[in-house]
């Protein structure tokens, strides 16, 4: 399958987000609540997201996933106890696009890891998934997710 894998470099990107530790089973509920809070904060200020919503994964422990759930924004905002103002760090990244059900995403992770290994590119351990649509909008086979590895 073709994923359009590429290496690129970006500037830092301001974000609004929440951080959580959760099991993979509870992840959909946690994501839904976090998006609701972050989007409410943003819309109350008359602002729109600067890009697609994301979940950043800081580990792959399926019983205690460390995640950051949020949206890129056009400028830095003041945070609150519930909503953090932060950034996606500047630097090199490797990304690919995946179309299909979330349950099948192992394939793009494998492809990205193989692509990086073949080029001696070392991931930092942080991975972002950007969601271009949702299961409420389209069928599972039409879900679009961009997977982005931060790399050294």
Set out the domains of the chain in order of their start, with CATH numbers: 6-151 (3.20.80.10)
Print pLDDT tens along the chain (152 aa).
889 999 999 999 999 999 999 999 999 999 999 999 999 999 999 999 999 999 999 999 999 999 999 999 999 999 899 999 999 999 999 999 999 999 999 999 999 999 999 999 999 999 999 999 999 899 999 999 999 999 99
Q: What is the pLDDT of residue 1?
A: 80
Q: What is the pLDDT of residue 64?
A: 97
Phi-psi region of 91 (alpha: psi -120 to 50; beta: other; left: phi over 0): left
CB 72, CB 13: distance < 8 Å? yes
Q: Is 143 exposed, middle or buried (0-12, 13-18, 19+ CB in 10 A)?
A: buried
């Amino acid at each position: 399958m073709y994923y359009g894998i590429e290496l690129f470099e970006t500037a830092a990107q301001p974000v609004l987000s929440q951080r959580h530790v959760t099991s993979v089973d509870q992840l959909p509920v946690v994501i839904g609540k976090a998006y609701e809070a972050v989007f409410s904060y943003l819309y109350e200020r008359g602002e729109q997201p600067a890009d697609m919503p994301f979940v950043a994964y800081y580990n792959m422990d399926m019983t205690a996933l460390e995640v950051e759930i949020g949206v890129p924004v056009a400028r830095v905002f003041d945070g609150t106890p519930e909503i953090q103002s932060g950034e996606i760090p500047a630097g090199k990244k490797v990304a690919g696009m995946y179309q299909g059900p979330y349950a099948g995403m192992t394939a793009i992770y494998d492809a990205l890891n193989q692509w990086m290994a073949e080029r001696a590119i070392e991931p930092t351990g942080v991975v972002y998934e950007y969601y271009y649509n949702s299961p409420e909008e389209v069928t599972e086979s039409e879900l679009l997710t961009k997977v982005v590895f931060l790399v050294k």
